[in-house]
Amino acid sequence: MFGTRAHKLGWTAKPNESEDERLLRPNLLSFVANTGEDKGLIESAKALATAWLKDRTVVSSDVSGALLASAARSGGAALYEQFLTAAKREKDPRDKRTLIGGLAAFQDPVLVQRNLSYLLDGTFDPREAEALMFAPMRESATSRFPLAFVRSHVDELATKLPGDGPFSFLSVLPFVAEVGCSEDERAQTEAFFGPRVDKITGAPRNLAKVLESIHLCAARTRVQRAGIAEFLRQY
C-alpha cells in the first residue's frame, strides 16, 4: 500500500521537492522499512547510515534519526559497534542524541542489555540517553528488560541519575512498569516504587498514571479474554 510511494521518495532529498515531501519522508520511510519490513529500504538505510557516520551531509538532519533507527532494527553487532564508537566521540549534542537513538533501536537482547548498562557506567549522560531505557519497551521481546533492570539496580540508579533541577530522571522511572497488565503487577509496582519516589517532584503523579494504566489493562483483559479465546478456537 505504501511501498511504491516510499521508494519514490527515498531516504535522500531530491532537487525542488515540496515541503510536504520533505516532512513525509522520515515518517513514511521508517514506517515502511520497520513495520513493513521492506528489505530494500532497510539495506539502503544501513548503507546510508554507515556513510552518515563519516559525512553528516549524506542525509538531512530531519531524516538522520529515522535512518539510523531503521538501519539498527535489523543490524548486528558490527553496526552497533560503529554507532557506539561514533556516539562516544560525538561532540555535537543533536548528533549525539541521534546516535544514541540509533543505539536504542537495536533489537538483539544482548545489545539491549548493554544499552541499559550505560545508564550506570557513565558512558553517556543519562539526560541524553533516556531512549536507552524506554525504547526496549516498544518491542514484545524486550519490553520487560527495563523494569527488570530498574528492580535490580534501583539504589545505584538513585545515586547516578540526575535527581534535581526542573527535570528529574528519577521521576520517570515508574514508567518502566507500564508493561504490567494484572492486579498483582499493579500491587507489586505500587509497593516497589511508592516508597522510593514519594519525595521526588512529579514522580508520585507519574506512578499514579502507571498504576491506572496497569489497572485498565487488567480490566480490559478480564472483559475480552473469553471473546478472544472463543475467536481463536475457530482456527
- pLDDT bracket for residue 163 (50, 70, 90): low
Give residue for cell 502507571: 210
Task: Tell whether 220 is covered by a domain.
Answer: yes
Q: Note the pLDDT tens digit of each residue in 174-185.
A: 999 999 999 999
Q: Does the residue 54 lie in any domain?
A: no
Q: Calculate mean pLDDT across residues 149-178.
A: 84
CA gap 125, 161 in Å, rounded: 9
Measure the CA–CA gap between 212 and 197, rounded to whole angstroms: 17
* More confident call, 140 vs 164: 140
CA distance 182 to 179: 10
In this predicted structure, what is the pLDDT of residue 169?
82
- Cα 149 off chain centre by: 15
Does residue 149 form part of some domain?
Answer: no
pLDDT given for residue 137 in this prediction? 96
In a domain, 156, yes or no: no
Farthest CA pair distance, the chain? 58
Residue 165 pLDDT: 55
Specify the number of domains making up the chain.
1
Instruction: Kindly state whether residue 187 falls inside one of the protein's structural domains.
Output: yes
pLDDT of res. 173: 93
Angle at CA 110, nearest 5°, toward 105 and 112? 35
Position 142 in a domain: no
Distance CA 154, CA 233 (A): 43
Per residue in 40-64, pLDDT (tens digit) is: 999 999 999 999 999 999 999 999 9
Specify the pLDDT at position 127: 83
CA 203 vs CA 107, 171, 195, 196: distances in Å:
29, 4, 11, 9
pTM of the model: 0.89
Q: Residue 176's domain spans which residues? A: 162-235
| Structure confidence at residue 161 (pLDDT) | 78
Residue pLDDT, tens place only, 141-151? 999 999 999 99
What is the band of 221 on the pLDDT scale with cuts at 50, 70, 90?
very high
Residue 180 is assigned to a structural domain of this protein: yes
pLDDT in tens, 62-111: 999 999 999 999 899 999 999 999 999 999 999 999 999 999 999 999 99
pLDDT at 80: 97
Confidence of residue 164 (pLDDT cuts 50, 70, 90): low
pLDDT in tens, 17-31: 999 999 999 999 999
User: Rounded mean pLDDT of the chain?
Assistant: 94
Q: Is residue 154 part of a domain?
A: no
User: Region 209-226: what's the mean pLDDT?
Assistant: 96
